[in-house]
Amino acid sequence: MVVGCNQSNSATEFILAGFPNLNSTSAELFSVFLLVYLLTLTGNVLIVGVVGADTRLQTPMYFFLGNLSCLEILLTSVIIPKMLNNFLSRQYTISFVACITQFYFYFFLGASEFLLLAVMSVDRYLAICHPLRYPLLMSGAVCSRVALACWVGGLLPVLGPTVAVASLPFRKQGAVVQHFFCDSGPLLRLACTNTRKLEETDFVLASVVIVSSLAITATSYGHIILAVVRIPSVSGRQKAFSTCTSHLMVVTLFYGSAIFLYVRPSQSGSVEANWSVTVITTFVTPLLNPFIYALRNEGVKEALKDVFRKVAVDSSGNLVLAKICIKKAGR
């Protein structure tokens, strides 16, 4: 039996190891991750708000973009606040229940995001390759059902493995998760039993979700590229492909890092050795998403400009009204 294991007295909390060789710079890390979290929240909340408020953005592409931003907000909120609290308390502990909850929501939201990215690629394929049938194929009702399917598609498959992990006996002493959150590989290493079957199950689920959604995305963009190169005018080709480049940038970052980390038969040592790659899926992509879509999308940029103009006008109007009230009160 592994040292520190007692199946009748399992762990009630874990210690998060954090980042290797960086524990002496807690104040700097706290500042960096607080800034990342605030920027991520601000950017994605702006996208959700603008997509919901601007009638020009009431289209399937922006509807799915709003869902993607919601997923990014939740994904970062599952990890960063606890990390920030640990930096402040300097205890780096997480309760067993909180760890399992973090484990579940991280993989649930991640799986939903993979499915949603695949749906977004199909949406672009239908818009470019079947423009006449597009309004019928991607009606409001269809988009709502598809988005719901993405959320449920991530919610249910992760439930079984989470229950299995929660049922494992973990070592009572020295239960250190060699990561900055409760990821699968480092958590399974602390179990007091053989977890090979569970790792194989995780591998199959990850392969099905990630590889299948990647195959759908690659197929969709393959058809898009073939359709775009047939457009006779250069400006037409640029306009058709401009709506896809932002999505491709996100897909490349997200799929590349996730496949590198999770599509492996064994997870036991991958995350500890490649924690920097995990940063891409948990911090970099959610942070870059709103900026990539906003800065490269004319519709979103125009909507944001209108929002800021309206805020500026309302602010100036309120300021004038406040001055009038002050003058009247002075009389």
| Stated pTM of the model | 0.84
Average pLDDT, the chain: 81
Judge whether 174 and 11 are in contact, CB under 8 Å. no
Please give the Cα distance from 46 to 30 (Å, whole number).
24
Looking at the predicted structure, is the pLDDT value of residue 323 above 60?
A: no
Least confident of 75-84, 223-232, 263-272, 320-329: 320-329
Residue type, 175: A
Looking at the predicted structure, is the pLDDT value of residue 298 above 80?
A: no
Please give the Cα distance from 59 to 48 (Å, whole number).
13
Confidence of residue 1 (pLDDT cuts 50, 70, 90): very low
Judge whether 237 and 229 are in contact, CB under 8 Å. yes
Looking at the predicted structure, is the pLDDT value of residue 2 above 90?
A: no
Q: What is residue 178's predicted lDDT score, i.e. its pLDDT? A: 84
Judge whether 79 and 106 are in contact, CB under 8 Å. yes
Q: What is residue 22's predicted lDDT score, i.e. its pLDDT? A: 59
Judge whether 141 and 253 are in contact, CB under 8 Å. no
Q: Which residue has the higher pLDDT, 200 or 322?
A: 200
Outline where 177-273 has alpha helix (H): 184-188, 196-206, 212-229, 234-262, 270-273
Judge whether 87 and 30 are in contact, CB under 8 Å. yes
Which residues have a Cβ under 8 Å from the Cβ of 239 and sit 6 or more positions away? none
Q: What is residue 111's predicted lDDT score, i.e. its pLDDT? A: 92
Which sign does the torsion angle of CA 24, 12, 6, 270 carry? negative
Q: Nearest Cα to 184, choosing from 99, 253, 111?
A: 99
Domains of the chain (ranges, CATH numbers): 13-296 (1.20.1070.10)
Q: Which residue has the higher pLDDT, 59 or 277?
A: 59
pLDDT digits (tens, 9 = 90+) for 119-132: 999 998 998 889 89
Q: What percent of the chain stands above pLDDT 70?
A: 81
HSE-CB for 95 with a 13 A CA cutoff: 3
Looking at the predicted structure, is the pLDDT value of residue 67 above 80?
A: yes
Residue 32 CA from chain centroid, whole number: 19
